[in-house]
Structure 1
Amino acid sequence: MTLITNLAVAANTLVCGASEGIGLALCSQLLARDDVRQVFAVSRQANHSAGLEALARQHGRRLIRINCDARYEKSLEKLTRHIGATCECLHLVISTLGVLHDAPARAEKKLAQLDLASLQASFVTNSFAPILLLKHLFPLLLHQPTTFAALSARVGSISDNRLGGWYSYRASKAALNQLLRTASIELKRLNPASTVLALHPGTTATRLSQPFQANVPPDKLFAPAFAAQCILELIARHGPAHSGTFWAWDHQPVAW
């Protein structure tokens, strides 16, 4: 299965949030493919990640590690300059950025637990950072078939919200979905071969979900490698005709 619909060359790819969990698994699987030219592995600690260091020893110059905190535009500006000096375009960008319970963000159970610091932290990482990543990489996505995919979450679906709770996380993922939908319209006008996707990877055994894993049935708690495989399959199966849509790991659409 091809990585990107109608892409005839080996792909330049970028994973943001690459140092652990799903992001690291995505880097590993992309580097194992013959149709991938190089992988830009971006995270706050890309050059200090043991997992990325192991991949670098195995794949050499095909893996380019870049330290970047996507919550800050100066870092994103520097990232874009770095990539632009290396290649003319990107064919695939995947954002795995997300926060649920790292202070000051928290998984609130009731209104009384809400505070401004938690709301701001959730929105900065879950909503603002992915769309600002797209903003700054935008010039590199205007040529050839290209896909920008960001990890959202089913709990960001407004119509699917039946349990309540997790105010900041739910709202910030819903905001991400709207931002991606809006960006897909603009990008398609400039590059009809572009695709923007919101993807729900399922509950995955990562640091983000760790405090809540005891409540997840074993068959519904996925390994990062499985989640990464599902994400790449979704990207391969959804091209420009699906731009601006929201999909779950099992290939089912998610209602807004």
Structure 2
Amino acid sequence: MSKTSRSNLRRNLTGGVLGAFALTALIIAVTAVRAGAAEEAVVIPPPSIDETTSAKTEKAVFAGGCFWGVQGVFQHVKGVTNAVSGYSGGAKETASYETVSGGKTGHAEAVEVTYDPSQVSYGQLLQIFFSVAHNPTQLNYQGPDHGTQYRSAIFTLSPEQKKVADAYVAQLDKAKVFPDKVVTEVADLKGFYTAEAYHQDFLTLNPDYPYIVYNDLPKIENLKTVFPKTYRDKPALVSQAKG
């Protein structure tokens, strides 16, 4: 799917018009099928080192293409209490969908994950991120979506997170679990800016939306299959988050 087509679809969403672009959405879905956009899960080893913490709540920020699917995946992970779509990598003043879509803000569509380390570790979240949430070997695109705003990135909140993330990227490349080199950027988090309300919980609220059906629902099935002990059926929705 071209950036222009996807941008037009989202502009329609801002006006609350879901039926008006049904034909366009169908055409895009068919194009995606022909292009083979849906990603298969890659079974990978867990990280050799992990974050150690006694905190009851931790946060992590991941970028892996359209945030609809990445958010949806992490919302189905046990121990995750919230997963919010937003923007990271650029300035606060440019953190809006219309501006970020131009691909010149430095932002990536990202997801801030709040989790309980006693139930799921940072390393386990990384494993899910690399295995089922996106394809870490695609440079500045994911499936049908192209541009630096769709790049693969991990925005770390502490030196330990950065150490774990860097080591895991090196581990995966050395093990050659992917056919190509991992291109995921690992950078210190300078800011996370929550995306517009219509982007939150999008996968759950729009399960029949063609883009979701083809590109994102398979990720949820992959999570359930590859990580059955970590998967939970009821997602942790932003609309239901406490506080």
Q: Name the TM-score, length of structure 2 as normaliser.
A: 0.30
Greater RCO between the two (CA within 8 Å, min separation 6)?
2
TM-score normalised according to structure 1 size: 0.29
